[in-house]
Amino acid sequence: MSASTSTPKPAAPFLPFTRPTIDDETIAGVCEVLRSGWITSGPKVKEFEARLSAYFGGRPVRAFNSGTCTMEIALRIAGIGPGHEVITTPLSWVATSNVVLEVGARPVFVDIDPVTRNIDLSRIEAAITPATRAIIPVDLAGLPVDRDYLYAIAKKYNLRVIEDAAQSFGASWRGKLIGSFGDFVSFSFHPNKNVTTIEGGCLVLNNEAEAKLAEQYRLQGVVRSGMDGMEVELVGGKFNLTDVAARVGLGQIAQVDAFTTRRRELAKLYFEKLSTLSARSAGLRLPVADFEQCNWHMFQVILPEEKLTIKRAVVMEKFHTLGIGVGVHYPAIHLFALYRRLGWKDGDFPNAEYAGRNILTLPLFPTMHDSDVTRVVDALVSILQVHHKS
Ligand SMILES: *Cc1c(COP(=O)(O)O)cnc(C)c1O
């Protein structure tokens, strides 16, 4: 093996596609919680929930240990289970549809709009049957699904909506923050998301009755009353967030506006750099240039597979060789083995399949430098030029 001798050295430190930003104030706060004697769910979770509720205009919010269980719990509160169908997108993190299977219902996929990469709302009505109970839209990369159109369909057919807003914390629709209106809104605080608690999530609910149910599903169905009262009325799980995690989240909420501003600046810079070069003529598809509503959770391009001599995996390897991390978010869900076993096949959702094969997430995170964008774009252009079909 002599391949290693020909591998070029990266010119700069490795640039990951994302990186959490944890400031010293947050680290000091976490140390305080660790020293306090109360480290799991307690006063910091309550404070975090109150802070989130204020952020979302006073709606009830409950925190959990993932952005997956939040959606599962929303489905349970809505009474969705066996015999029911839930409409969603095939281009998302697989959690989006796994939770539907988890409660015993059936996901019904509707293809994406190739421009927004979100569920194509104009195709939803054709997918509605008497068994349909809910829609789970996803704001991929933080670009909001059209909420007016979405809720008009939900109202017309009397459907619940569980917004999978895992990627759209801080994004808005017509001047209103995602989470501040609508039906159930679910967020994830995974480290890759714009706001993190290491692992965690929260669910925005409609009223206190739903919030009480969410608390029961969160922890073994337990209801406590008075000094010595405990009752169990339903099967709940073990989905509570820790106070340590909640303290991380409090430090993140304090910075989220700054994060979003910086992400938008970097996204703008990507457009500037990408517009001046042959990337356009190479057939690269750029995201929607929305700097008002989108929180720029990710900057994703779609490679022109018909014009390239190499597949995405090779493009990714070339980026890595240049010291740049890139990601895939996501392969089309319906083509995973589990979903094929349930009956889906190639060709069912051509737009999602094309995106699933060719979408590529470029580095974007608040502490990235302007010069990093130049470095990524230069790498992308050189890879596309060298491997373009003549
Ligand atoms: C991250 C994510 C989830 C799941 O969140 P976890 O906190 O990892 O459970 C769900 N849907 C989408 C679109 C996501 O990006």
Mean pLDDT for the chain? 95
How high is the pLDDT of residue 293? 98
How high is the pLDDT of residue 2? 45
Q: Which of 94, 167, 330, 359 most suits a substitution to test ligand 1, by most atoms within 8 Å of the C-beta?
A: 167
The 10s digit of each residue's pLDDT in 345-383 is: 999 999 999 999 999 999 999 999 999 999 999 999 999
Q: Name the more confident of 387 and 155.
A: 155
* Ligand 1 neighbours by CB, cut-off 6 Å: 66-68, 92-93, 95-96, 138, 164, 166-167, 188, 190, 201
The 10s digit of each residue's pLDDT in 74-133 is: 999 999 999 999 999 999 999 999 999 999 999 999 999 999 999 999 999 999 999 999
Q: Which whole number is the average pLDDT over 299-324?
A: 96
How high is the pLDDT of residue 275? 87
CATH class of 257-386: alpha beta
Instruction: Give the active site residue among 9, 155, 176, 193.
Output: 193
Residue percentage of the chain with pLDDT more than 90: 93
Residue 8 has pLDDT above 70, yes or no: no
How high is the pLDDT of residue 276? 73
Q: Which of 86, 88, 93 most suits a substitution to test ligand 1, by most atoms within 8 Å of the C-beta?
A: 93
CATH for the 24-253 domain, from 2.60.120.260, 3.90.1150.10, 3.40.640.10, 3.60.20.10 = 3.40.640.10
The 10s digit of each residue's pLDDT in 249-278 is: 999 999 999 999 999 999 999 999 998 765
Domain layout of the chain by residue ranges = 24-253, 257-386
Is residue 193 flagged as an active site residue? Answer: yes
The 10s digit of each residue's pLDDT in 289-311 is: 999 999 999 999 999 999 999 99
How far does residue 67's CA lie from ligand 1's centre (Å)?
Answer: 5
3-state secondary structure the chain: CCHHHHCCCCCCCCECCCCCCCCHHHHHHHHHHHHHCCCCCCHHHHHHHHHHHHHCCCCCEEEECCCCHHHHHHHHHCCCCCCCEEEECCCCCCHHHHHHHHCCCEEEECCECCCCCCECHHHCHHHCCCCEEEEECECHHHCCCCHHHHHHHHHHHCCEEEEECCCCCCCEECCEECCCCCCEEEEECCCCCCCCCCCCEEEECCCHHHHHHHHHHHECCEEEECCCEEEECCCCCECCCCHHHHHHHHHHHCCHHHHHHHHHHHHHHHHHHHHCCCCCCCCCECCCCCCCCCCCCCEEEECCHHHECCCHHHHHHHHHHCCECCECCCCCHHHCHHHHHCCCCCCCCHHHHHHHHHEEEECCCCCCCHHHHHHHHHHHHHHHHHCECC
